[in-house]
Structure 1
Amino acid sequence: MTSQPPIAPRHPITREFHGRSFVDDYEWLRDKESPETIAYLEAENSYTEAQTAGISELTEAIYSEIKSRIKETDMSVPQRAGDYWYYGRTIEGKDYGLSCRIPVAQDQDPWVAPVIPENGEIPGEEVLLDLNELAEGQEFFSLGASSVTTSGRFLAYSVDTTGDERFDLRIKDLQTGQLLDDKLSGIFYGATWAGEEHLFYQRVDEAWRPDTIWRHRIGTDPAEDVCVFHEEDEHFFTGIGSTRGEKYLIIEAASKITSETRVLDTSDPEGEFRLLWPRQAGVEYAIDHAVVAGQDRWLVTHNLTGPNFEVGECAVEGQLPALDELNVLIAHDEHTRIEGVDTFQNQIVAAYRRGAIGRLAVMVLPEDGYGTFQELEFDEELYTAGSLGNPEWDAPVIRISYGSFTTPARLYDYHVATGEFTLLKEQEVLGGYDPHDYVAHRLWATAEDGAQIPVSVVHRADLDLSQPNPTVLYGYGSYESSTDPGFSVSRLSVMDRGMIFAVAHVRGGGEMGRGWYDEGKQLSKMNTFTDFVAVADDLINRGLSSPEMMVAEGGSAGGMLMGVVANLAGDRFAGIQAIVPFVDPLTSMLKPELPLTVTEWDEWGDPFHDHEVYDYMASYAPYENIEAKQYPDILAITSLNDTRVLYVEPAKWIAKLRETAIGGTFLLKTEMSAGHGGVSGRYARWHQTAFEYAWTLDTATAGRKS
């Protein structure tokens, strides 16, 4: 280990685009196979280890607290699929879980989940997969697909042992417990059954874009598999699934702004898929299948009539009406973002977002047509509710997940006929957790242009707010992704030490509808960054925190936010933590051959062909705008096998910060056997989280101590 920071050699190359030049001294770090690159990353790891030796005790203390609060031997609530109840369970001391099932008992209510003993023998239990056995001897392990045929006989599962999100799939005969000879290598996420013999899956192109859908027949050579769909447009991804009633297979091709759907009756798996509505630039739609008054209907969520989407419906058979001529079930509303519908034999669940909170409504289907939607109500100001774990088409109950910043995750059965909730399980927090010891509330900060930015704030109820407190301010703000209220065991450790946890729901996210997203992408992306700064200023002006006690945190696209904020307003923060950060976006968006680049042009803009986009991205790209000034302390964490945000981006960023900045400590930690999601195995993940929180807490409290 060393106390001296590594100094990356400079090997300048000049990038030329649209008559603009940029000299890049550290692009050589992109060569993942180079011994010089690996040596540099390992030197950075040694330096980070030395610089963080002082928080090792705090890290271990937080890790012990996380571990002590989590019920290590636990199990999920069984969910019914076909003739079985499926569930997962974990065992103390084991990194990974077990996938299990038991038969539906003939003498019990078929829709009431059985209460399964957590210790000892479980009568009739089948262990379908023991992930600990599959992960044995691997430095990294991730399960991709896990899909059982309707009869319950065959299980298709896939694993990734490097972190590059490429999976090898096997098929297990659950009657005999034997693996079939079938082996599909290097496929993408997911596997969808059609009957008992046919399996559909995805492959990727050279840019690792899922561009093809394939059909495999059990017992045949994978070399004979049939490509049933190929998406040639590099802006589009593909995906395949099935309707809940398993009557139709669905292939969707989608870019960030346009989508198109094909369907096939599962009774004819070797037939031709039928195109529903041809793609139209800027129009997105998603379909689900319902049976209404005895007729098959498509329920279609689309944005042709407005940016916040509406839900229409039509008959499955015959000539389809235009999207804007569908029978309207849920009309477009400028204040409500429709996220989709979830159909069952006798009810429909609608998911939507209003006032920065995700909401649910249920419609009971009478015999003669459609009913009306009734919104489900919950007591807390800030919460997250969703329809989760509902595989069965004819279920009379709906599984509802619920949680908040202060309420541990809950799972309910919602009885559609009576409107009653039955609590099935609440996440158990060991050690005497009391939700009344913590409070969560909503603030609103004013952006540069007057927009009102929602801010979620969580802390101990007894925290003294008459003076500034250590604060972590989290942000993401891309892809219309919403950061919803959720409970975190690990967060308790920092809040119990007097820290405020705040979330800036900045533009580019989806909390306030499609317009909130549109105002934080492409040539409006600067709003994401200035919104975050406005939230930081608001917390400081309210006296909740101070620049000496505030740490900013974000990951992936949120890591780009961290990089821009470091350049734009680093003086508001004592530290910045950036996880797998997208901090060299212009270089990446100028390389169409890289994974995701072309599809990402709809999010960031296309600097490869458009000089205006090039200049705009160049104005904020973190790596290209580092200045000779004081910076906050920065911790960047990345993974060598990440295929979404390549390790080279934070590596270059830290190298240039160290060369250019006149103040600040810059650390890079690279997981040498992991991908975009970081380390695998729950104990390693808890330890990584403990390290990150220890660094954040130490950085934020240093200002209070001084």
Structure 2
Amino acid sequence: MKIPQAVKRPQKPLSPRHVADDWKYLEDLDDPTTDAYLKAENKYYKAMMKPISALQKELFEEMKERTAEDDSSIPERDGEYWYYIRYQKGQQYPLFCRKRETLEATEEVYFDHNAIAAKHSYCDVGYVDVSPNHRIMAYAIDLEGNERYTLRFRDLETNEELPIAIEGVSSCFEWKTNQSFFFIKLDENDRPLQLYFRDLTLSENVLIYEEKDTSFFLGLDSSESDEYIFLGASGYDANEIWYHRITDLGHDFHCFMPRLEGHEYELCHHNESFLIVSNDKAVNFQIFKTSIYEVEREHWALVQGHNPEVFIEGLTVFHDFWIISERHKALPRLKIMPLTGGIKPYWLQMPEEAYELTTSEGRDYRAESFRYWYST
């Protein structure tokens, strides 16, 4: 049986920085050629795997037995609620749950992925988040498998879906107020290039920013302090970050530092300062600090300089301490930097010689502890 070969349709590159994709038409599931090719691939796969089909079933059942089908995440505090997700045995998708004030309170399942998936042949939920007052839930859902999401909303007090659906968006969005948010729309080639603002009490989507360089993609994130929203434009070896203070009356973003070829940086907020993890003249990155009122490069003060033996992977910021994620001699490590009590910086000590280690931002900026994942 011959291996299926997709037909090549020569394309012109979009710019000198692009590589032409001669098989881009395969993204169009309505194209008869795409449909025929996928069916041929599936037929070939079944034929090749038929001799070991019994072993496949055996391995699947063994892996299933080793997986906790009723697993759940550790609850995280956000305001007056504890949020977590959990799975039920026999169901494929998670339940999004919360409890008010204490973990002994009655559980509220505010989003059931399984209930929606049962009505569709495909269902991917990219992101679920509640408004700052915990009343309105927004979720990005893809029912086609093309990663073009639709933003939908539900009133958690009445459990009613709001008559609002914003189609053709990426899976990321960020709340500004209890009734307004920012989101990113995709262009005709599924590139995230436009930032919009929407007030749920109004019908208009307001264009805030449009990326003109198609080699850069847009993404949204919020600061750990929940005081800023960051808009990132990321390319192959450079990026640019814009920031918006949530308490500002308007919805404009300000460029922190314009993009420069080869310059990559990460931005965090802490009290009256921005923290910058930058590879400017530092292949392993270094950390700077500057006032939120003076963001120009000449005002940056060095916090941790470049070390040729230590790679800085990221920075997690809490109100009373910072965590620097580093990699030294191929192993990850976490450097804790207390900001109160006169305690000197220190590294978490791991009991074994080889391991993986990551940290979590968490929902509570003023938490006195943090969570990390350790695996050997």
- TM-score, length of structure 1 as denominator length: 0.49
What amino acid is the match of 1:43?
A
Contact 1:237 1:254 in 2 (8 A): yes
Matches within 5 A, 1:644-655: none
Say which of 257, 260, 263 aligns to 2:240. Answer: 260
Which one of 167, 170, 190 corresponds to residue 185 of structure 1? 167
Between the aligned partners of 1:77 and 1:28, the Cα distance in structure 2 is 41
1:137 corresponds, among 102, 109, 119, to: 119
Identity over aligned pairs, percent: 28
Paired position in structure 2 for 1:52: 49
Q: Contact 1:198 / 1:269 at 8 angstroms: preserved in 2?
A: no
Please list the CA deviations of residues 214-248 of structure 1 after superposition, one character each: whole Å capped at 9, or x if unmatched.
Answer: 11101322xx1111111111221111222111111
Task: Report SS of the residue matched to 1:164.
Answer: coil
Asked which structure has the greater RCO (Cα within 8 Å, sep 6+), the reply is 1
- Kindly indicate whether the alpha-carbon contact (under 8 Å) linking 1:352 and 1:360 is maintained by their aligned counterparts in 2: yes
**1:402 and 2:371 correspond:** no
The answer on whether the counterparts of 2:224 and 2:361 sit within 8 Å (CA) in structure 1 is no
Q: CA RMSD in A?
A: 2.5
What residue ranges of structure 2 are gaps of 5+ in the alignment?
Answer: 14-21
* Correspondence for 1:298 among 264, 274, 283: 274
Aligned to 2:83: 86
Question: 1:647-688 CA distances to partner (integer Å, 9 max, x unpaired)?
Answer: xxxxxxxxxxxxxxxxxxxxxxxxxxxxxxxxxxxxxxxxxx
Structure 1 counterpart of 2:50, which letter? A
1:66 matched to 2:63: yes
Letter in 2 for 1:320: V
Name the structure with the higher helix share. 1
Q: What is the match of residue 347 of structure 1?
A: 321
Tell me the distance in 2 between the aligned counterparts of 1:245 and 1:190: 18
Matching residue of 1:328:
302
1:228 partner letter: I
Name the one with the larger strand percent: 2
Q: 2: CA distance between counterparts of 1:140 and 1:254?
A: 30
Match status 1:242 vs 2:212: no
Partner Cα distance (2:141, 2:179) in 1: 21
What's the CA shift for 1:384? 1.6
Mapping for residues 517-536 of structure 1, pairs under 5 Å: none
User: Are 2:358 and 2:373, in contact at CA under 8 Å, matched by a contact in 1?
Assistant: yes
Match of 1:267, as an amino acid? T
2:207 is aligned with 1:227: yes
In 2: Cα distance, 1:273 partner to 1:139 partner: 39
Measured at CA, do residues 66 and 196 of structure 1 come closer, stay the same or move farther in structure 2, by a change above 3 Å? same
For the 8 Å contact 2:316–2:361, the answer to whether it is kept is no
Match of 2:292 in 1: 316
The count of residues paired between Structure 1 and Structure 2 equals 367
Which residue pairs with 1:359 in the alignment?
Answer: 333
Consecutive unaligned residues of structure 1, counting only runs of 5 or more, are 18-25, 106-113, 117-122, 405-706
Asked if the contact 1:181–1:219 (Cα under 8 Å) also holds between the matched residues in 2, the reply is no
Q: Please point out which of 274, 279, 288 is paired with 2:259.
A: 279
Give per-residue Cα distances to partners, 1:413-461, cap 9 Å, x unaligned.
xxxxxxxxxxxxxxxxxxxxxxxxxxxxxxxxxxxxxxxxxxxxxxxxx
1:146 maps to a residue whose letter is: V
- Secondary structure, in 3 states, of the residue corresponding to 2:346? strand
Runs of 4+ in 1 over 3 A off after TM superposition: 4-9, 11-17, 26-37
Offset of 1:347 from its aligned partner? 0.6
How far did residue 169 of structure 1 move? 1.1
1:359 & 1:225 partners in 2: Cα distance? 44
> Aligned-pair distance for 1:47?
3.1
CA distance in 2, matches of 1:402, 1:336: 20
**What is the CA–CA distance in structure 1 between the aligned matches of 2:265 and 2:207, rounded to whole Å?**
24
- Matches of residues 89-128 of structure 1 in structure 2 within 5 Å? 89-105=86-102, 114=103, 123-128=105-110
Distance verdict in 2 for CA 1:164–1:362, change over 3 Å? same
CA offset at residue 202 of structure 1?
0.6
Distance 1:44 1:301, change over 3 A: closer
Change (3 A) 1:371 1:329: farther
The structure with more radius of gyration = 1
Tell me the CA shift for residue 38 of structure 1: 2.8
1:253–1:259 contact (8 Å) kept in structure 2? yes
Cα deviation for residue 139 of structure 1 reads 2.0
Distance 1:154 1:32, change over 3 A: closer
Encode CA deviations 1:100-126: one digit per residue, 9 max, x unaligned. 000123xxxxxxxx4x7xxxxxx4111
1:142-170 per-residue CA deviation (whole Å, 9 max, x = no partner) reads 11121112221111111112221111111
For 1:28 and 1:127, the matched residues in 2 are separated by 40
Q: Displacement of 1:45 after TM fit?
A: 2.1
Quote the Cα distance in structure 2 between the aligned partners of 1:271 and 1:401.
36
Q: Please, what TM-score do these two structures have when normalized by structure 2?
A: 0.90
Per the TM alignment, residue 35 of structure 1 is displaced from its structure 2 partner at its CA by 3.5
Map 1:550-565 onto structure 2 (within 5 A). none
After superposition, the Cα gap between the structure-2 partners of 1:251 and 1:345, relative to the gap in structure 1 and judged at 3 Å, is same
Q: Counterparts of 2:94 and 2:30 in 1: how far apart (Å)?
A: 34
Rounded to whole Å, the distance in 1 between the matches of 2:366 and 2:200 is 28
Distance, in Å, in 2 between the alignment partners of 1:211 and 1:28 is 19
Closer/same/farther in 2, CA of residues 132 and 36 from structure 1, 3 Å limit: same
For 2:157, give the aligned amino acid: Q
**Matched position secondary structure for 1:338:** strand
